[in-house]
């Protein structure tokens, strides 16, 4: 009923387009036009493979985009050219495949979506439509794939320094989790989850970064710091101070955070953020805050998270720095659905309470560890997931105005649900999930049964 009403209103002449434009920087028609442009180059072309890069300096790894797994930055390539932090031979090979119309295996995230009935738009299209990508698509399409191409969107991790030990995290990007694994060893799951890889000499990569920085900085449209926890990292404050001294007025600068740092550190961050905005030292400043559901369940999934502290800091940003958009980074996993509507309600409340601020939702499906992927949920949870989608629709911009959920936000959850419905239930991973949960509780002193009563019993 709610869905039908929503669809009816959305189809009224002009309304759908208006809502789409209010909802995002570009309309779905625009993304379709980008799809056509990509298709002229090849049916697998994606600008993010050239222009969007994540680089982890401490462990010397990179990926493009953030969906495929990370790979090592070869030292022999770095010796020749510091830009090999991004332009690795491996990425160049994947780019050549795209230009030839082949599907790089590492981009399965997009192919799975595109293979659904009706071939929906995937991140390949959405990302290529972004203003850091679209203007360059034609030029990239005329390349051979062997060229060095500086990214226009760079996500950078200076270090893995982090105080949280989230359930799905990788010890190479959280120092606290690494300490846990050093003490207890990997988890006794079939794939020995949490196995440590050899430590790297991060110094070599950091040195290369500062050599590369003057060249890449002028090309960047988006620069995003990740971690570890960036607000624990001195280099984060150094970068912000650098922008104050030497502004980059065309740059969108973002920081990922778990919002769980001390008040003193948080104030240091918000004060620099305020100065950057006042001085117009960057075009836009954004914060991405991580949370996957609500209450005790969110705290179990992200060990060290306290929802009270998280929401206090989030609300401080929305209230005192409304010019800084905040996006909730949601890694949607098998444990997210049960209290997810409460998180959605909190988002609606924030949007109503702080109307001058911008609070967005960014959902990505978790794929690793595979025993926490949504496809382990039995189909008996269907109603629960449908309810979440219905909750989005019942609280859309059409019904609630500016504080409601956007077309893009609703479409994102539709895609997640469609993906889950198509997937056979991964019952073979239930054993690993049980093993993991028990060991996690033992190591962390948590109680899965208290946070998720009856969940394990339902896996049969």
By C-beta, is 67 or 252 nearer to ligand SF4? Answer: 67
- Structural tokens at position 262: 């001390």
**In the complex, what is the shortest distance from the CB of residue 405 to ligand SF4, in angstroms, rounded to a whole number?**
23
Whether a cis peptide bond, with omega within 30° of 0, leads into 369 is yes
Closest CB to ligand SF4: residue number: 107
**In the complex, what is the shortest distance from the CB of residue 47 to ligand SF4, in angstroms, rounded to a whole number?**
8
By C-beta, is 60 or 68 nearer to ligand SF4? Answer: 68
**In the complex, what is the shortest distance from the CB of residue 121 to ligand SF4, in angstroms, rounded to a whole number?**
11
- Structural tokens at position 427: 């019952």
By C-beta, is 108 or 247 nearer to ligand SF4? Answer: 108
By C-beta, is 69 or 355 nearer to ligand SF4? Answer: 69
By C-beta, is 53 or 254 nearer to ligand SF4? Answer: 53
Q: Residue numbers of the site for ligand SF4 (CB under 6 A)?
A: 46, 48-49, 64-65, 67-68, 107, 109-110, 123-124, 127
**In the complex, what is the shortest distance from the CB of residue 107 to ligand SF4, in angstroms, rounded to a whole number?**
3
**In the complex, what is the shortest distance from the CB of residue 36 to ligand SF4, in angstroms, rounded to a whole number?**
17
**In the complex, what is the shortest distance from the CB of residue 154 to ligand SF4, in angstroms, rounded to a whole number?**
15
By C-beta, is 137 or 388 nearer to ligand SF4? Answer: 137
- Structural tokens at position 101: 């119309």
Question: What CA–CA distance (Å, rounded) separates 297 from 340?
Answer: 10
**In the complex, what is the shortest distance from the CB of residue 60 to ligand SF4, in angstroms, rounded to a whole number?**
20
By C-beta, is 143 or 204 nearer to ligand SF4? Answer: 143
């Amino acid at each position: 009923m709610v869905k039908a009403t929503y669809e009816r209103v959305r189809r009224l002449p002009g309304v759908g387009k208006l809502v789409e434009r209010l909802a995002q920087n570009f309309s779905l028609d625009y993304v379709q036009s980008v799809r056509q442009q990509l298709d002229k180059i090849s049916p697998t072309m994606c600008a993010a493979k050239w222009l969007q890069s994540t680089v982890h300096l401490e462990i010397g790894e990179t990926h493009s985009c953030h969906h495929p797994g990370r790979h090592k930055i070869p030292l022999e390539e770095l010796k020749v050219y510091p830009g090999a932090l991004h332009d690795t031979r491996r990425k160049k090979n994947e780019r050549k495949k795209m230009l030839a119309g082949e599907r790089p295996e590492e981009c399965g995230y997009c192919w799975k979506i595109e293979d659904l009935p009706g071939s929906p738009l995937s991140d390949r299209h959405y990302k290529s439509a972004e203003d850091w990508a679209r203007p360059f698509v034609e030029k990239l399409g005329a390349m051979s794939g062997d060229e060095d191409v500086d990214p226009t969107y760079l996500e950078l991790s200076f270090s893995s320094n982090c105080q949280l030990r989230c359930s799905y995290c990788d010890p190479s990007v959280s120092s606290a989790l690494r300490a846990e694994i050093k003490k207890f060893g990997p988890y006794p799951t079939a794939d020995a989850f949490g196995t440590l890889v050899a430590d790297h000499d991060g110094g070599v990569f950091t040195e290369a970064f500062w050599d590369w920085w003057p060249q890449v900085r002028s090309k960047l449209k988006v620069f995003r710091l990740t971690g570890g926890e960036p607000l624990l990292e001195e280099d984060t404050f150094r970068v912000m101070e650098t922008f104050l001294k030497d502004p980059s007025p065309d740059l969108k600068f973002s920081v990922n955070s778990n919002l769980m740092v001390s008040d003193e550190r948080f104030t240091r961050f918000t004060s620099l953020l305020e100065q950057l905005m006042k001085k117009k030292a960057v075009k836009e400043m954004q914060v991405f805050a991580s949370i996957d559901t609500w209450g005790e369940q969110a705290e179990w999934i992200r060990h060290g998270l306290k929802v009270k502290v998280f929401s206090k800091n989030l609300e401080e940003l929305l209230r005192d720095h409304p010019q800084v958009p905040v996006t909730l980074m949601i890694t949607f996993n098998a444990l997210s659905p049960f209290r997810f509507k409460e998180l959605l309600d909190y988002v609606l409340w924030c949007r109503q309470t702080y109307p001058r601020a911008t609070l967005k939702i960014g959902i990505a499906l978790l794929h690793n560890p595979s025993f926490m992927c949504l496809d382990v949920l039995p189909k008996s949870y269907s109603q629960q997931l449908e309810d979440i989608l219905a909750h989005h629709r019942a609280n859309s911009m059409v019904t609630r105005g500016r504080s409601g959920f956007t077309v893009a936000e609703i479409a994102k959850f539709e895609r997640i649900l469609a993906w889950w419905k198509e997937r056979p239930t991964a019952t073979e991973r239930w054993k690993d999930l049980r093993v993991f949960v028990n060991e996690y509780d033992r190591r962390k002193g948590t109680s899965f049964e208290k946070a998720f009563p009856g969940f394990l019993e339902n896996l049969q």
